[in-house]
Amino acid sequence: MTSDGSEQVRGAGARDPDALIRRAGARGNPDHDQHFLVDDRVVDRIPTYLPEDADRSHVLEIGGGPGVLTDRLLGVADRVTVVEQDRTFAEHLRREFADEVEAGRLTVVEGDALEVDLPEFTACVSNLPYGISSEISFRLLPRGKPLVLMFQKEFGERMAAESGTSEYGRLSVSTQHYGDVEVCEHVPREAFDPKPAVQSVVVRITPRDPEYEVEDEAFFLDFVKALFTQRRKTIRNGIRNTAHISGLSDPEAVVEAADEDVLRKRAGNMAPAEFAELAELAASVGR
């Protein structure tokens, strides 16, 4: 507070989360998947999870809300673009960070992050709306940029899971196709306002080329999806039963050509590189 009792608006990287929410004039709405970080310690740590060598010249944020994370990002990035669907919060961001907007350091894009044209960015740091976690992640991953994203705990842990674990699945293979995935921090419900019904995690995805090659990435991802719909079946039966998903016209040819050791496995025990090798075989003999 200043001497006259009014709230002091400090520089970028120092605004109080609760004060930002008050100035926004609206609370988070759980029905709209709005849960805002209010724990300063968590908010301060999130930008530090970017890789040390990450280019911070233009950071993208999905779902800015009242600007709690936006404020911290402006403290570490040259330029920030925020995509915010809620008009009340979009207007608040332009008003709260008017100096940064005028200086060209902040751009507020009002709209649905699944529909608007995303700008070219050098990294993305976001507390994502959990209802669109999968859709927005797979819009961002092909861009090949460092990502630091907040997810529901179970979703984030599945992203990072290793083959042979109960959490490992299609999401693990598909995400790890694009980069190295690490769970950086577990975040309790109490760090948000309003509190979500679930625990959360911060996940870092560092882009890298996979250790294998796939000629048709779309087919590879569909093939992985298909086999995980039959995760309790052997790969042999999975190939035979899911041609309608994978797009194979001759699944039996794939079974005849594949290695017997692979055919006896189940999807949960197949490493991404093994999926890739099998997908390449399937594409060559079964499409």
For the segment 235-257, what is each residue's pLDDT rounded down to a tens digit?
999 999 999 999 999 999 999 99
- Structural contact between residues 203 and 184, judged by C-beta atoms closer than 8 angstroms: yes
Which tokens sit at 101? Answer: 């907007």
Contacts of 185 (CB under 8 A, 6+ apart): 42, 45, 49, 201, 202
- Structural contact between residues 81 and 60, judged by C-beta atoms closer than 8 angstroms: yes
Longest Cα pair distance anywhere in the chain, in angstroms? 81
Predicted confidence (pLDDT) at residue 7 exceeds the cutoff of 60:
no
- Count Cα atoms within 13 angstroms, Cβ side, for 210: 21
Which tokens sit at 195? Answer: 């509190």
Domain at 17-207, CATH homologous superfamily: Vaccinia Virus protein VP39 (3.40.50.150)
Predicted confidence (pLDDT) at residue 10 exceeds the cutoff of 60:
no
Residue type, 284: S
The predicted structure's pLDDT at residue 6: 35
Predicted confidence (pLDDT) at residue 222 exceeds the cutoff of 60:
yes
Predicted confidence (pLDDT) at residue 213 exceeds the cutoff of 70:
yes
**Domain map of the chain by residue range?**
17-207, 217-285
- Structural contact between residues 142 and 207, judged by C-beta atoms closer than 8 angstroms: no
Tens digits of per-residue pLDDT, 63-116?
999 999 999 999 999 999 999 999 999 999 999 999 999 999 999 999 999 999
The three-point CA angle 143-36-51 to 5° equals: 35
Binding region for S-adenosyl-L-methionine? 35, 37, 63, 84, 112, 127
Mean pLDDT for all residues in the chain? 92
Residue 1: pLDDT band (50, 70, 90) is very low
Q: What is the DSSP letter of 76?
A: T
What CATH number is given for 217-285 in this structure? 1.10.8
Q: Structure pTM?
A: 0.91
Binding region? 35, 37, 63, 84, 112, 127
